Chain A
Amino acid sequence: MNKKILIVDDEPNIVISLEFLMKKEGFEVAVAADGDEAMAKVASFDPDLILLDVMMPKKSGFEVCEALRANPPRPDLLIVMLTAKGRDTEVAKGLAIGADAYVTKPFSTKDLVVRVKGMLGVA
Chain B
Amino acid sequence: MKAKHRFVVAVVVLGLLMTGPFVVTSLLVWLDMKDAERQLLTELLLSRLPVGTMMTVFGFVLGVLVLHYLFKQYVEGLLRMAETLRLMLGANRNFRVKIDGPPEVQQLARAANDLAQQRDELMDDVDAQVAKAKASVEEEKNRLAALMSELAQAVVVCNLDGRILLYNNRARLQFKALAQGPTSVAGGALIGLGRSIFSILEKNQVQHAQEVILQRLAAGKSAMSNFITTTRSGQLLRAQMVPVLAATGSDGETAMSGYVLTVENITRSLEQEARRDQALHSLTEGSRSALGSIRAAVTNLIDYPDMEQELRERFVKVVDDEAAKMSQRLDVTMAEFSDSMKTRWPLEDILGIDIILAAQRRIDDRLKLPSKTEEIEDALWIKADSYSLVFALVFLASKLQDHYEPRELRFRLTSEGKLAYLDLIWAGPAMSSETFYTWEMESMQVGSDTSPLSLRDMIDRHGGEIWYQREKAAHRAFFRFVLPVAMPEVLHEEDERKRGSGRPEYYDFDLFKYSDDSIDLDRKLSDLTYTVFDTETTGLEPSNGDEIIQVGAARIVNNRLLRQEVFNQIVDPERPLRPEGIPIHGITEDMVRGQPTIDTVLPAFHQFCEDTVLIAHNAAFDMRFLQLKEARTGIRFSQPVLDTLLLSAVVHPNQESHKLDVILERLGIEIGKRHNALEDALATGEVFLKLVPLLANQGIVTVRQALEASEKTFYARVKY
Q: What residues of chain A have their CB less than 8 Å away from a CB belonging to chain B? A: 11, 13-14, 16-18, 20-21, 24, 55, 82-86, 104-110
Q: Is residue B315 contacting chain A, with contact meaning CB distance below 8 A?
A: yes
Expressed in whole angstroms, the minimum distance between the Cβ of B416 and any Cβ of chain A is: 39
Residue pair A106, B318 in contact (C-beta under 8 Å): no
B300 at the interface (CB under 8 A from A): yes
Closest to A90 in B: B285
Candidates A13, A24, A84, A104; contact of B297 at CB < 8 Å: A13
Chain A CB within 10 Å, residue with most, of B289, B292, B294, B299: B292
Instruction: Tell me if B300 and A17 are in contact (CB < 8 A).
Output: yes
B674 is an interface residue with CB less than 8 A from chain A: no
Query: Do the beta carbons of A108 and B299 come within 8 Å of each other?
Result: yes
Across the interface, A84 reaches (CB within 8 A) one of B285, B300, B314, B315, namely B285
Q: Describe B's contact surface by its main secondary structure.
A: helix
In the complex, which residue of chain A has the Cβ closest to the Cβ of B292? A105
Chain A residues near B296: list those with CB within 8 A.
14, 17-18, 21, 106-107, 109
A17 adjacent to B297 (CB under 8 Å): yes
Q: Find the A residue at minimum CB distance from B311.
A: A20
In whole angstroms, what is the CA distance A100 to B321 when docked? 31
Q: CA A11 – CA B291 in complex, angstroms? A: 12
Chain A residue nearest to B286 (CB atoms) is A84
Once the chains are docked, how many angstroms separate the CA of A17 from the CA of B316?
A: 11
Complex: A76 Cα to B286 Cα, angstroms: 33
Q: In the complex the two chains form, is A13's CB within 8 Å of B321's CB?
A: yes
Cβ-based interface call for B184 (8 A): no
Residues of A near B289 (CB, < 8 A) are 11, 14, 55, 84, 105
Decide if A84 touches B292 in the complex (CB within 8 Å): yes
Please, which residue of chain B has its CB at the minimum distance from the CB of A107? B292
- A104 and B288 in contact (CB under 8 A), knowing A17-B293, A17-B300, A18-B296? yes
CB neighbours (8 Å) of A24 from chain B are: 304
Restricting to B279-316, which residues have a CB under 8 Å from any CB of A? 284-286, 288-289, 291-297, 299-300, 303-304, 307, 311, 314-315
Q: Does B322 contact A (CB under 8 A)?
A: yes
Given contacts A13-B321, A21-B300, A109-B300, contact A86 B285 (CB under 8 A): yes
Report chain B residues within 8 Å CB of A82.
Answer: 292
Q: Enumerate chain A residues within 8 angstroms of B285, measured Cβ to Cβ.
A: 84-86
Top-9 shortest CB links A-B: A105-B292, A17-B296, A84-B288, A106-B291, A106-B292, A13-B293, A14-B293, A105-B288, A84-B289
- Which residues of A have CB within 8 Å of B303? 110
CB-nearest residue of chain A to B307 = A20
Min Cβ gap A121→B in Å is 23
Listed A/B pairs (24) with beta-carbon separation below 8 Å = A13-B293, A14-B289, A16-B297, A16-B315, A17-B296, A18-B296, A20-B311, A20-B315, A21-B296, A21-B299, A21-B300, A82-B292, A84-B289, A85-B288, A86-B285, A104-B288, A106-B291, A106-B292, A106-B293, A106-B294, A106-B295, A106-B296, A109-B299, A110-B303
How far, in angstroms, from A105 to B292 measured CA to CA in the complex? 5
A residues near B295, Cβ cutoff 8 Å = 106-109
B293 pairs with A11, CB closer than 8 A: yes
Contact A110 B299 (CB under 8 A): yes
Residues of the A chain whose Cβ atoms lie less than 8 Å from the Cβ of B299: 17, 21, 108-110
Residue of B284, B289, B311 with most chain A CB atoms under a 10 A cut-off: B289
* Residues of the A chain whose Cβ atoms lie less than 8 Å from the Cβ of B314: 16
Given A20-B300, A86-B284, 15 other A-B residues pairs in contact with their CB atoms under 8 A: A11-B289, A13-B293, A14-B289, A16-B297, A16-B318, A21-B299, A83-B288, A84-B289, A86-B288, A105-B288, A105-B289, A105-B291, A106-B294, A106-B295, A109-B296
The distance in angstroms between the C-alpha atoms of A35 and B285, with both chains bound, is 21
Residues of B within 8 A of A85 (CB): 285, 288
Q: Per-position contact with A for B7-18: 1 when CB-CB < 8 Å, else 0?
A: 000000000000
Which of A13, A104, A106, A108 gathers most chain B CB within 10 Å? A13
Cβ proximity bits B429-443 to A, threshold 8 Å, 1 near / 0 not: 000000000000000
Q: With a CB–CB cut-off of 8 A, which chain B residues contact A107?
A: 292, 295-296
Known: A13-B322, A14-B293. A106 touches B300 (CB 8 A): no
Contacts of B307 in A (CB 8 A): 20
In the bound assembly, the distance between CA atoms of A60 and B295 in angstroms comes to 24
A-side contacts of B292, CB under 8 Å:
14, 82, 84, 105-107
B286 to chain A: closest CB distance in Å? 8
Chain B proximity of A24: nearest CB distance (Å): 7
Q: Which residue of A lies closest to B297 (CB)?
A: A17
Asked, given contacts A86-B288, A105-B289, whether A13 binds B311 with beta carbons under 8 Å apart, the answer is no
Interface residues of B in 234-256 (CB under 8 A from A): none
- Residues B321 and A106 in contact, CB atoms below 8 Å apart: no
Give every chain B residue within 8 A of A110 (Cβ-Cβ).
299, 303
Q: Which residues of A contact B288 (CB under 8 A)?
A: 83-86, 104-106
A14 to chain B, nearest CB (A): 4
Find chain B residues with CB under 8 A from A104 CB: 288
Closest residue of chain B to A104 (Cβ to Cβ) is B288
Chain B residue nearest in CB terms to A17 = B296
- Closest-by-CB residue of A relative to B314 is A16
B284 and A13 form a contact (CB under 8 A) = no
Q: Residue among A16, A17, A55, A107 with the most chain B CB within 10 A?
A: A17
List B contacts of A83 (CB < 8 A).
Answer: 288
**Smallest CB–CB gap between A34 and chain B, Å?**
15
Question: Which residues from chain B contact A106 at a C-beta distance below 8 Å?
Answer: 288, 291-296
Contact B291 A17 (CB under 8 A): no
Complex Cα spacing A12 to B300, Å: 15
Residues of B within 8 A of A105 (CB): 288-289, 291-292
Docked Cα-Cα span, A55 to B290, in Å, equals 13
Q: Say how far A11's CB is from chain B's closest CB, in angstroms.
A: 6
A120 to chain B, nearest CB (A): 19
Task: Report how far A13 CA is from B300 CA in the complex, Å.
Answer: 13
State the Cβ distance, A100 to closest chain B Cβ, in Å. Answer: 19
Residues on B with beta carbons closer than 8 Å to the beta carbon of A16: 297, 314-315, 318
CB distance from B306 to the nearest CB of A (A): 11
Query: Which of chain B's residues have a CB closer than 8 A to the CB of A20?
Result: 300, 304, 307, 311, 315
Shortest CB-to-CB span from A112 to chain B, Å, is 8
CA distance A84 to B325 in the complex (A): 15
A13 and B318 in contact, given A21-B300, A86-B285 (Cβ under 8 angstroms): yes
B317–chain A nearest beta-carbon distance, Å: 9
Could you tell me the distance in whole angstroms from the C-beta of B517 to the nearest C-beta in chain A?
52
Report A107 CB to chain B, min CB distance, Å: 6
A17 touching B311 by the CB < 8 A rule?
A: no
- From residue B692, how far is it (CB to closest CB) to chain A in Å? 68
List, in ascending order, chain A residues with CB within 8 A of B297's CB: 13, 16-17
> With the chains together, A55 CA to B318 CA distance in Å?
19
Which B residues touch A84, using CB under 8 A? 285-286, 288-289, 292
Shortest beta-carbon distance, B717 to chain A, in Å? Answer: 81
Q: Considering the chains assembled together, what is the distance between the CA atoms of A16 and B292 in angstroms?
A: 12
The distance in angstroms between the C-alpha atoms of A20 and B318, with both chains bound, is 13
> In the assembled complex, which residues on chain A have CB atoms less than 8 Å from the CB atom of B293?
11, 13-14, 17, 106
In the assembled complex, the CB of A41 is this many whole angstroms from the nearest CB of chain B, namely: 21
Q: Which of B296, B307, B315 has the most CB of A within 10 A?
A: B296
